[in-house]
Amino acid sequence: MMTYETYLHQPISLSVSENQTTTFRIPLVFEGNPKLFKSFLLQVKRIIRTSVEYNQWKPWIHGMFGPGVCAVSQNIAAIEVHHHPLTLEDYIYIALSYFDRHEYAYTSMLVADIVMRWHYEHIVGAVFLSTTYHERFHEFHDVVIPESSIHCDFEKLFSNEIIRAHMEPAHLAKFEIYCPGFTATHAELFVA
């Protein structure tokens, strides 16, 4: 019986003709081609953000922690979900690190799937921000988001084997910057 992990290692055989077979190995080679990697990254984010699952997750997160009020201004108009302290792109990089380190074949859809599953496990931090503050955070990084406004099961996030094993120092630094209370009470997670 083939397990899913075993399946991820299998190359895809394509029949070219009766007597000839060629093997196509996923993923594409990104080394030396940053444009292709950027395109791949944008594709993964597009898959996530346009998925039925993501569009059902957003009302779920609002229902669990709503009403949707801006964590900074207490505004109730034009509320968006901001991924915090890690960004959507950070989670994608963590997933890619996992697949690469284990030499698993992957596609943009598989990467999007694992990241979307983390959303439903409540280990992707989410904050409600008005459109204005959301844009300011990303453009100027001058918005202070209260740690208490971050909706995420940090304990579960740090116990997730894939995420914990594939976080980079820059990811951990975001927790130290944006979640000083959690960092102080869980110092053992941040020791090099």
Reported as a single tens digit per residue, the pLDDT across 32-56 is 889 989 999 999 999 999 999 999 9
CA distance 18 to 15: 7
**Cβ atoms < 10 Å from Cβ of 42:** 12
**149 in Cβ contact with 71 (< 8 Å):** yes
pLDDT > 90? residue 3: no
Q: Using the predicted structure, report yes or no on whether residue 186 has a pLDDT greater than 50.
A: yes
pLDDT, residue 45, reads 97
Which amino acid, residue 125? G
pTM for the whole structure: 0.85
Q: Residue 141 has what pLDDT?
A: 87
> What local confidence, expressed as pLDDT, does residue 77 receive?
85
What dihedral do alpha carbons 112, 105, 153, 173 form, nearest 10°?
-100
Residue 14 has pLDDT above 50, yes or no: no
**Above 80 in pLDDT, residue 122?**
yes
- By CB neighbour count within 10 A (0-12 exposed, 13-18 middle, 19+ buried), where does 162 fall? middle
Instruction: Check residue 18 and give its pLDDT.
Output: 58
- Name residues whose C-beta falls within 8 Å of residue 180's C-beta, 6 or more positions apart in sequence: 147
